Amino acid sequence: MSSFLKTVDAISSAFGVVAALLVTSAIFVVCQMVVMRYFLNESTVWQTEYVTYVIVAATFLGSPYVLLTKGHVNVDLLPHYLPPTPKKLMAIFASVIALLFCLILAWQAYLLLGEAIEGGWVTDTIWELPLWIPYLPMAFGMALLCVQYVAEILAIAFDSRDPAPAIDYPAERD
C-alpha cells in the first residue's frame, strides 16, 4: 500500500509543478498582451482566453497537490479538540464526503468533455479554441483529486499520515 501512496503523491506533486508553470506562463502572456495592446497598439487574439483557461487548468491540475500539502482551507476547530480516535474517524468521514463531491464533479466533467468533443464546440471568439481543450484539465484534475483522496483516506485509516491539517503560516516561508 505504501508504494501506492508514494506513486499517487509523486503524480500529484508532478502536476503541482505543472500548475505552477502554467501560472508562470500566464504572467508572461499577460505582460506580452499589455505590450502588444498598449505600446504597439495591436489587437490581441488569443491572449485573454489563454490566460483565463490556463488559470482554470492550473486550478484543477494543482488541486491534488494542494490536498496533499493540506492547502485546502478548512475549519479545524472541532477536530482540534477531539481525542485521537474520534478525530481520526471524523477526518475519514470528512474525506469520504469530499471524495463523493470530487467523484460527481469528475464524472460530470467527463460527460461535458465528451459532449464538447462530439459536438465540436469552440469558444465564441475569433480564436475559436476547441472547448475540449480547457475542459480536459478539469476532467483529468478532478479524477486525480479523487485518487489523491483515496490515498488520503487510506493513509489516515492506516495511520501513516497525521489527520490534523498542517497550518501553513507565511511566517514559515523563509
Partner 1 sequence: MDPLLIGIIAAIAVIALLATGIPVAFGLGFVSFVFLILFEGFGSLSVVAETFFAGIGEFTLVSIPMFIVMGAAVASSPAGKDLFEALDRWLTRVPGGLIISNIGACSVFAALSGSSPATCAAIGKMGIPEMQKRGYPDSLAAGSIAAGGTLGILIPPSVTMIVYGIATETSIGRLFLAGVLPGLMLTALFMAWAIFFAWRSGYDFRDKIGSFSWRQKFEILPRVLPFLAIVVGILYVLYGGVATPSEAAGVGAFFCLFLVAVIYKIVQPKKIWEILSSSTRESVMILMIIGASALFAYTLSSLFITQSVAEYIAALDVNRWVLMGMINVFLLIAGFFLPPVAVIVMTAPILLPIIINAGFDPYWFAVILTINMEIGLITPPVGLNLYVINGIAPGISLPTILRGALPFMLCMVAGIILLCFFPEIATWLPEKIMG
Residues that bind partner 1 (CB under 8 A): 16-17, 19-20, 23-24, 26-31, 33-34, 37-38, 48, 51-53, 55-56, 58-59, 62-63, 65-67, 69, 71-79, 90-91, 93-95, 97-98, 100-102, 104-105, 108-109, 111-112, 134-135, 138, 165, 167-174
How many Cβ atoms from other residues are within 10 Å of residue 152's Cβ?
25
Q: Residue 1 or 159: which CB sits closer to partner 1?
A: 159
CB of 160: closest distance to partner 1 in angstroms? 19
**Dist CA 165 CA 20 (whole Å):** 22
**Nearest to residue 100, comparing CAs of 138, 153, 60?**
153
Q: Residue 62 or 147: which CB sits closer to partner 1?
A: 62
The β-bridge partners of 122 are: 130
What length is written for the chain?
Answer: 174
Q: Residue 159 or 168: which CB sits closer to partner 1?
A: 168
How many Cβ atoms from other residues are within 10 Å of residue 58's Cβ?
23
CB of 6: closest distance to partner 1 in angstroms? 20
**Dist CA 87 CA 93 (whole Å):** 10
**Nearest to residue 55, comparing CAs of 73, 75, 29?**
29
Q: Residue 134 or 150: which CB sits closer to partner 1?
A: 134
Q: Residue 5 or 12: which CB sits closer to partner 1?
A: 12
Q: CA-based Rg of the chain, rounded to a whole angstrom? A: 20
